[in-house]
């Protein structure tokens, strides 16, 4: 599983680099699909990744205000903060460690 996360983080880093070459207006422009803007979509990806790891651990979800991350630097900082939390969990658990059903706090059912 760590291999897949490392790949996702590598691709995310490449997206961040690309985003840093765009004007802020492009990053915040309303679009079709995703979470309406490039920045909001990137924040959503980071949020979902960490939310699921927290759900697996039985920890409460910490909602993120997508609109609070209105620059690429803020999104990168969020990614760095959450990366260590996710990495700590992934490096301490094997793929077979969690065989139970997960009940995320943001949805009904498992």
Q: Which tens digits make up the pLDDT trace of 63-106?
A: 899 999 999 999 999 999 999 999 998 888 765 556 778 888 88
- C-alpha span between 14 and 27 (Å, rounded): 15
Tokens linked to 97: 């460690």
Sequence-separated (6 or more) residues with CB below 8 Å from residue 56: 89, 98, 102
Q: What are the tens digits of pLDDT across the range 27-65?
A: 999 999 999 999 999 999 999 999 999 998 889 999 899
* Residue 53 belongs to some domain of the structure: yes
* Residue 105 belongs to some domain of the structure: no
Residue span of the structural domain in which 43 resides: 2-92
CATH number of the domain residue 16 falls in: 1.20.120.450
* Residue 103 belongs to some domain of the structure: no
* Residue 97 belongs to some domain of the structure: no
* Residue 109 belongs to some domain of the structure: no
* Residue 8 belongs to some domain of the structure: yes
Q: Is the pTM of this model over 0.75?
A: yes
Number of domains in the chain: 1
């Amino acid at each position: 599983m760590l291999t897949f996360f490392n790949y996702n983080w590598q691709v995310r880093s490449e997206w961040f680099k690309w985003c840093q070459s765009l004007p802020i207006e492009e990053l915040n422009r309303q679009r079709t699909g995703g979470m309406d803007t490039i920045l909001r979509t990137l924040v959503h990806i980071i949020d979902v990744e960490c939310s699921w790891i927290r759900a697996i651990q039985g920890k409460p979800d910490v909602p993120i205000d997508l609109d609070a991350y209105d620059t690429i630097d803020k999104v990168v900082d969020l990614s760095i903060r959450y990366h260590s939390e996710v990495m700590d969990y992934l490096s301490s658990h094997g793929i077979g460690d969690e065989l139970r059903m997960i009940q995320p706090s943001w949805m009904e059912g498992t």
